[in-house]
Structure 1
Amino acid sequence: MEHPHGGLEAADVSALPLILRLALLLVTAFVAGVGLVRPRVATLPRHVTVLTVALAASSAGLAALSVAVAEVSVLGAAAHVVLVAAVALLLGKPTPVRWLSVALVLLLVVETAAGRSGVEFAADTVYVAAAVAWFGVTVLTTSAVSRPGPLSLTLGGVLVVAGAARLATSGIAFDRRVYETGFGLVLLAVVVLPLVATVLAAVLKGTDRAYRFGAAGVVAAFVGWSALAAIPSPAELPEPGVPVLAEASLAGQRVPVLISPHRPGRNLVHFPASAGNRVEVSVAGGPAVTATPRAGAEGTWAEVDLPAGRGSVVVGLGEARDQVRIDTGTDTGSDTRGAGPALAAGADGAECASAALGGLLSGRRDTLTACPADTLSTEDDQALRKLVGFLASRGVAGITVRGDESPRSTQAAETIRTAAAEANVRVDADPLPDNALVVVSGWSAAQSALTTAAAQQADSPVYSFGLYLAPWLLNAPLVTSATTVSVPLRFDPREHLPVSYAVAVGNGFGGESPTVAGFHAWLGDRKPLAAGEVQVFAAAQVTVMPMGPGEAHAPGMPMTEELAGQWVPKATIVPVSTPLLS
């Protein structure tokens, strides 16, 4: 998930451990540098020995302190202490101390690389080794160090090339983030500062002043290089038509923000329920709009009109304010809704935004060109036909259909009527005791239909054959609107992929519950992996997990615990039919 700033201030890193880590790496680099260059010096001056021992003692002390303050591995800290102590104690033995210093350099590479691999790890290795060598020659700049001028040019050039490689592979080298974010500025520094040192070395060639004057720049560059691991990579630049998933820092908490469809004109700004009900949104100094709940959807939503081009959305909570960058482009479309899908900000906008969120959480940045409610998919058409067949096999006399004016709902209602006629089942406009209710609307209308049905059933026996939802209506607010509802699905919400998506959306968006639209978008090209035969699943507001037809009880399986990855919190979803093959 992105943060709107992307600088050092965005890192969840305490200042003290970071400062301690940078000081440890820098002091250790000087110790390793002296040991690495030691074989080039015939006689080691006393002041260099004293300085190296002092630096080694400081490094060992900082390593020990890191165990307590920064939760550094005890074994890693012990290895660090042993190596710096060995370098300091064996300065009189040039060959052994060189190899100990090589080991110390490798340890520095591991400590600065922070999980990087490939070209970035190679650049880490080269950069750290070259900086360490520069520090060593700086400390040992005597006549005994042969040809300091050419060596300084070589080391400076290596630093510049390694820094440039790191910048080129960062993904931000050719856009404005390289100078607008803390991460980008540090990357520039690790290239520019060694370049300045190299130029000084060329101007002052043949003298040891090249190292002394350039040392400050190389020290700063090395510290910047070491700090890169603590600076979060900047957010992807907003692209017109690609919904924005960001985080706002408000009153000491990180609040996820979703902006959809991210086009000029009417847009939805969505926050998870965990953000509370007091979040406000404003654009370009305009009036603040309070995000409020929407029927059938989780969290809160604000409808705002975004201007064309680059700008920002201001998010507020109490006195706290933060900004989320936007770039809606210049295509405003033919009406006030902008150039995005027609349903992206209307009654079906929440479902459309949920689909966009699923794609973003999978790592894709697709332009939002259509919404789920735009048309009835072939899979959902077949699922509804099989649902009618299932109801007919149970002896249902009639079906009451509840829909809305969206294209998908209109097509779905027609599918229900056609399948019912073929099965000799009547379709009624009013609720009747021997009917089943089938809801094929969008989220908002479905919330109203289910709430009404639940109230009707509390007063008199209606819909004795149950309440049924179209496949796209499986989400927490709708399922919990009635005691029990059933849904025809092509996937089992308890299996690996659906559970993985449920965990991803919960972790990635403040505890949000999964939706079918989001699941399909999250799957992307993997959608066929979750496309099985249609089964009817019942969702009930109970906390037990009974086994489905023919399933063996899993020994030791918790039956009453609310687990991560559940599609509907504090509810149970189980199959109540075998696969519907016709």
Structure 2
Amino acid sequence: MRTSAETRGGSRPGRRLPLRLIALILAAAGAAWILPGAAWADGTHGTHDSATGSGPLGAAIRLAVLLAVGTVAGAGVVRPLTGPPARRTATAVSIAGAVAATGALAVVDRPLLAIALGTLTLGVALSLGRTPPAFAGGVALCAAYAVMASDGRVTQAAIAVGAAVWLGASLPLLTTGSLPEGRRLAPWLAISGAASIVAGIVQADLPKTVAVAGLAITAPALLYRGGPRKAATVGMAGVVTAGIALTAVPGSEVLRPGVPVLHSVALGGDPVPVLLAPQRPGWNVVHTGDRQVSVGTDADRLTATARSPGATGTWGMVWLPPGPGRLWIRGGGRTASVRIDAGRGVATSPQIRTDGPECASAALGGLAAGGSPAPLRSCPAQALGTADAGALRAALGFIAGRGVRSVFLAGDGSPRSRAAATVIRDAAAGAGLTVAAEPGARRPIVVVSGWSAAESTLRDIAGGRVRGEGAYLAPWLLSAPLLAIPAGQVLPLRFSPRDPVPLKYAALLQERFHGAVPTKVGFDRWQEAQGRADTGPAKLYAASLVTFMPTRPGETHPHTGTSWLPGGTITVASGPLR
């Protein structure tokens, strides 16, 4: 027979211990969902450059704030189901609220936000005895919690909300050890767990799933202690198993060596985009938009980013040792970091030192394709593509058709440029043209170098230091800074930058990296990721400048919209080339 205590909603003393063990596992599962992916928790949302803003102490405080806010938010959301909280539950929530409010003042870099977060958290904790204010405050706090823990990713925001509800629903069971309490909370645990599973599928870590499989199998055994008596007990065991299995869903993207890293950090003011490519041992390029900051793998030894010829924005170079680590970014008196993992292997940096921005632009194109990005196994300057080689032959045929007798070739030492030079020389020989050793007034200049050398060549032409009858650029030199230099340049392309698909790419690029201007190498990588390619005949295109003026070295300029040439347009200048 049941005792009077059981009839009133209690549970046998023998069951309190296993139930509390289960509750502890549930709470740990909730923490495991959210903590690995909370960019704010490890400082990637930006912090004060102080003892509490960065380093182990700051990280510990931020993690404590995240757990506390999530617990209070979840407790408020499940309040309509749990009824008036037990004294231990109310005390635990109040302590969590105090921890969140105090910790927020120490680590949130905007005082008004810190005060607002602390006030809301304490308000929910202190109103837990009344359902309407506790539930309304819990929903609002869950929204704030999703923003804190998501770093702008919708899937991570969903996981954060699920984890908050999971933590809040686990707390009454942990503090009371009551089986009826667990039965009432089981639906909330199941719903929040299912939501986090769906949101976490795209971020799943299969090795971790295997690692926790044993724990997931043994979890129901805790509930069976003393023998299963009710179907609800079996259902609860299933919910617990699902919850434990969810610890396999990390709260952030799995870092894969060779896959470029794209994040956004807060250093005061607007968020600063950060792109690292290729995330391999050796030299890597870092792009931070138009914001000049300092970057490095050692927080005490950072190097300032700077403009790179032929590219927009600011750039830096970092040497990555093998294995996991952090990329540190400092600006405006604040410091942030991003988790990285260069993997194992010999340090190799093909063309990164000379063609890093072009390589990063290709990496950004792959990331803009969405889905699971492929590793960046090579940079564009490492090889000449078949389509580009054909476009160069067609352009040389156009030049020969104008009655020109010779051309001047401007290249560099990259494998792609050397291969392109061979294509040009062979095509010139077949068309009866001479590749001259020096430029001349009636001699077209064919530019097959990378971005950096191409900018120098075009500025020399525009400044009259190099004489030539126009400049014919290789297709991969489709980049706004190069087209903005008034040097009479044209280039062969198999697509029009004003067509719907290139404009769609430009829009997606803006979503992933605000201020980025599309380039052909990025567009090619984006199409390749989707199994597409432009196969039509090449045409010559020229830049028509309206208000876009070329920058002087050291200057940057804003870029908005989806134009391939901000302040101007790129128009067709010939029919199909043969």
> Is the shorter-chain TM-score for this pair beyond 0.5, marking a shared fold?
yes
The change in CA–CA distance for 1:174 and 1:398 in structure 2 (over 3 A counts) is closer
Measure, in 1, the Cα distance between the counterparts of 2:37 and 2:179: 45
Measure, in 1, the Cα distance between the counterparts of 2:45 and 2:227: 40
Once the 2 structures are TM-superposed, how far is the Cα of residue 439 of structure 1 from its aligned partner? 0.5
The change in CA–CA distance for 1:235 and 1:331 in structure 2 (over 3 A counts) is same
In structure 2, what residue type is equivalent to 1:242? V
Matched, 1:292 2:296: no
Measure, in 2, the Cα distance between the counterparts of 1:370 and 1:406: 13
Kept after mapping to 1: 8 A contact 2:458/2:487: no
Instruction: Mark the runs of 5 or more structure 1 residues left unpaired by the alignment.
Output: 32-53, 72-113, 136-148, 180-190, 333-337, 545-561
Q: Identify the residue that residue 564 of structure 2 maps to in structure 1.
A: 567
Provide the aligned C-alpha RMSD in A.
5.1
Matched, 1:477 2:481: yes
Q: Identify the residue that residue 449 of structure 1 maps to in structure 2.
A: 457
Kept after mapping to 2: 8 A contact 1:4/1:247: no
Measure, in 2, the Cα distance between the counterparts of 1:439 and 1:265: 29
Once the 2 structures are TM-superposed, how far is the Cα of residue 514 of structure 1 from its aligned partner? 0.9
Matched, 1:399 2:407: yes
Once the 2 structures are TM-superposed, how far is the Cα of residue 203 of structure 1 from its aligned partner? 8.1
Kept after mapping to 1: 8 A contact 2:78/2:135: no
The change in CA–CA distance for 1:376 and 1:167 in structure 2 (over 3 A counts) is same
Kept after mapping to 2: 8 A contact 1:241/1:328: yes
Deviations 1:339-389 (A, max 9, x none): 45x22x221222112111211221242222211111211111110111011
Measure, in 2, the Cα distance between the counterparts of 1:501 and 1:268: 23
Match of 1:264 among 272, 276, 281: 281
Q: Identify the residue that residue 43 of structure 1 maps to in structure 2.
A: none
Kept after mapping to 1: 8 A contact 2:364/2:522: yes
Deviations 1:141-193 (A, max 9, x none): xxxxxxxx98666556655555555555524566779x9xxxxxxxxxxx9xx
Measure, in 2, the Cα distance between the counterparts of 1:378 and 1:387: 14
The change in CA–CA distance for 1:152 and 1:250 in structure 2 (over 3 A counts) is closer
Matched, 1:379 2:387: yes
Kept after mapping to 2: 8 A contact 1:539/1:572: yes
In structure 2, what residue type is equivalent to 1:403? G
Measure, in 2, the Cα distance between the counterparts of 1:166 and 1:409: 51
Match of 2:468 among 463, 466, 469: 463
**Equivalent residues in 2 for 1:246-265, closer than 5 Å:** 246-265=263-282
Matched, 1:6 2:39: yes
In structure 2, what residue type is equivalent to 1:468? Y
Measure, in 1, the Cα distance between the counterparts of 2:205 and 2:432: 66
Kept after mapping to 2: 8 A contact 1:483/1:540: no
Deviations 1:104-140 (A, max 9, x none): xxxxxxxxxx998xx99xx98xx99xx7xx99xxxxx
Kept after mapping to 1: 8 A contact 2:296/2:303: yes
Higher relative contact order (CA 8 A, sep 6+): 2
The change in CA–CA distance for 1:175 and 1:323 in structure 2 (over 3 A counts) is farther
Measure, in 1, the Cα distance between the counterparts of 2:324 and 2:154: 34
Q: Identify the residue that residue 352 of structure 1 maps to in structure 2.
A: 359
Once the 2 structures are TM-superposed, how far is the Cα of residue 396 of structure 1 from its aligned partner? 2.8
Measure, in 1, the Cα distance between the counterparts of 2:570 and 2:82: 62
Measure, in 1, the Cα distance between the counterparts of 2:229 and 2:429: 96
Match of 2:502 among 498, 501, 507: 498
In structure 2, what residue type is equivalent to 1:478? L
Measure, in 2, the Cα distance between the counterparts of 1:10 and 1:312: 10
In structure 2, what residue type is equivalent to 1:346? R
Matched, 1:389 2:397: yes
Matched, 1:316 2:330: yes
Kept after mapping to 2: 8 A contact 1:259/1:269: yes
In structure 2, what residue type is equivalent to 1:248? V
Deviations 1:62-97 (A, max 9, x none): 79x98xxx99xxxxxxxxxxxxxxxxxxxxxxxxxx
In structure 2, what residue type is equivalent to 1:388? L
Kept after mapping to 1: 8 A contact 2:37/2:250: no
The change in CA–CA distance for 1:254 and 1:313 in structure 2 (over 3 A counts) is same
Q: Identify the residue that residue 574 of structure 2 maps to in structure 1.
A: 577
Matched, 1:369 2:377: yes
Deviations 1:233-277 (A, max 9, x none): 84313222222112222124321111122122222222111x23x
**Number of residues paired by the alignment?**
437
Measure, in 2, the Cα distance between the counterparts of 1:4 and 1:538: 46
In structure 2, what residue type is equivalent to 1:579? P
**Equivalent residues in 2 for 1:62-141, closer than 5 Å:** none
Measure, in 2, the Cα distance between the counterparts of 1:541 and 1:27: 62
Kept after mapping to 2: 8 A contact 1:359/1:522: yes
Kept after mapping to 2: 8 A contact 1:260/1:269: yes
Kept after mapping to 2: 8 A contact 1:543/1:572: no
Kept after mapping to 1: 8 A contact 2:283/2:348: no
What secondary structure, in the 3-state scheme, does the structure 2 residue paired with 1:435 have? coil
Matched, 1:238 2:255: yes
What secondary structure, in the 3-state scheme, does the structure 2 residue paired with 1:346 have? helix
Kept after mapping to 2: 8 A contact 1:397/1:434: no
Matched, 1:511 2:515: yes
Deviations 1:501-520 (A, max 9, x none): 11222232230111111111
The change in CA–CA distance for 1:414 and 1:172 in structure 2 (over 3 A counts) is closer
**Equivalent residues in 2 for 1:155-234, closer than 5 Å:** 155=184, 165-166=194-195, 168-169=197-198, 170=200, 171-172=203-204, 234=251
What secondary structure, in the 3-state scheme, does the structure 1 residue paired with 2:345 have? coil
Kept after mapping to 2: 8 A contact 1:150/1:206: no
Once the 2 structures are TM-superposed, how far is the Cα of residue 6 of structure 1 from its aligned partner? 3.0
Q: Identify the residue that residue 87 of structure 1 maps to in structure 2.
A: none
Once the 2 structures are TM-superposed, how far is the Cα of residue 474 of structure 1 from its aligned partner? 0.5
Match of 2:341 among 319, 322, 327: 327
What secondary structure, in the 3-state scheme, does the structure 1 residue paired with 2:353 have? coil
The change in CA–CA distance for 1:533 and 1:563 in structure 2 (over 3 A counts) is farther
In structure 1, what residue type is equivalent to 2:283? R
Kept after mapping to 2: 8 A contact 1:400/1:431: yes
Kept after mapping to 2: 8 A contact 1:271/1:301: yes
- TM-score normalised to structure 2 length: 0.62
Measure, in 1, the Cα distance between the counterparts of 2:519 and 2:307: 16
The change in CA–CA distance for 1:62 and 1:408 in structure 2 (over 3 A counts) is closer
What secondary structure, in the 3-state scheme, does the structure 2 residue paired with 1:354 have? helix
Q: Identify the residue that residue 283 of structure 1 maps to in structure 2.
A: 297
The change in CA–CA distance for 1:202 and 1:156 in structure 2 (over 3 A counts) is farther
In structure 1, what residue type is equivalent to 2:449? S
Give the greater-gyration-radius structure (CA). Answer: 1
What secondary structure, in the 3-state scheme, does the structure 2 residue paired with 1:347 have? helix
What secondary structure, in the 3-state scheme, does the structure 2 residue paired with 1:414 have? helix
